[in-house]
Amino acid sequence: MYNLLGISWVDSSWIPILNNGSVLDYFSERSNPFYDRTCNNEVVKMQRMTLDHLNQMVGVEYILLHAQEPILFIIRKQQRQSPTQVMPLADYYIIAGVIYQAPDLGSVINSRVLTAVHGIQSAFEEAMSYCRYHPSKGYWWHFKDQEEREKTKPKAKKKEEPSSIFQRQRVDALLLDLRQKFPPRFVQQKPGEKPIPVDQIKKEPEPVPEAVKPEEKETVKNAQSAGAKGPPEKRMRLQSTH
């Protein structure tokens, strides 16, 4: 038994004459896959009785539930248990002469859930195709479209904005604070050499400035002034020549 929700049926010869009185006869065509030939409508039709006799019978029957001539008709299939008690089984709608079976609530929810799950599964499969892993690097995403776009786009040079005085002072203060909290344990004195622990570095003693006596200071000053003026003998000789 195939699924009736995925098919439709139409007889183009009936479309011009469809109305409230002829729509049930159109629906009861033998080639219509939605019509059950064991229904009470078929019995009434064979005995040439009116549809009013359906209320006195028990079993499956078809009725015209709603009509909007000439474009829309709704047929209901129901199980009659008594003249006043019926149980709906299925609904069919006819739009422009084409008959479809209306889906029930369970079929609608099932279809929507399957569509959503299929979309989520396809998204996960596509996402996994871009996932890469390497023991040294870990996980990362590898998008082919992104690489092609980066190759086609011209590389624009980024202008480096100069840092402000506040930023420089703030960074220096943070680096100094970190150096005081976490002093270095190893020092590399020259490039290429092996780092040495700070404790093993010998600090050279700073030279102590010698104390100069006041008498020596005066002699040094006199010598400097005499050197600037020149020797006294040469001055006398220059005066005598004039």
Domain of 132, in residue numbers: 107-147
Whether 143 maps to a domain, the answer reads: yes
87, 102, 117 — which closes off a domain? Answer: 102
Residues in the chain with pLDDT values less than 50: 228, 234, 238-242
Question: What amino acid occupies position 6?
Answer: G
Residues 140, 72 within the same domain: no
pLDDT at 100: 95
On the question of a cis peptide bond just before residue 70, with omega within 30 degrees of 0, the verdict is: yes
For residues 86 and 57, give the distance between their C-alpha atoms in angstroms, rounded to a whole number: 11
In this structure, the dihedral spanned by the alpha carbons of residues 131, 132, 135 and 137, taken in order and rounded to 10 degrees, is -100
Domain CATH for 78 = 3.10.450.580
77, 102, 127 — which closes off a domain? Answer: 102
Residues 55, 141 within the same domain: no
Residues 90, 49 within the same domain: yes
Those residues whose C-beta lies under 8 Å from the C-beta of residue 199, and which sit 6 or more positions away, are none
pLDDT at 242: 46
Residues 67, 140 within the same domain: no
- Residues paired with 93 in a beta bridge: 74, 100
Residues 94, 41 within the same domain: yes
132, 147, 162 — which closes off a domain? Answer: 147
Residues 43, 59 within the same domain: yes
pLDDT at 211: 55
Residues 25, 66 within the same domain: yes
Whether 137 maps to a domain, the answer reads: yes
pLDDT at 216: 57
Query: What is the total count of domains within the chain?
Result: 2
Whether 239 maps to a domain, the answer reads: no
Residues 47, 115 within the same domain: no
pLDDT at 181: 84
- State pLDDT tens for residues 69-104: 889 999 999 999 998 899 999 999 999 999 999 998
Residue 107's nearest CA partner among 2, 32, 1, 3 is 3
Whether 173 maps to a domain, the answer reads: no
pTM: 0.49
Alpha helical stretches, state H, the chain:
23-27, 40-46, 105-129, 144-152, 165-181, 214-229, 232-241
Residues 12, 96 within the same domain: yes
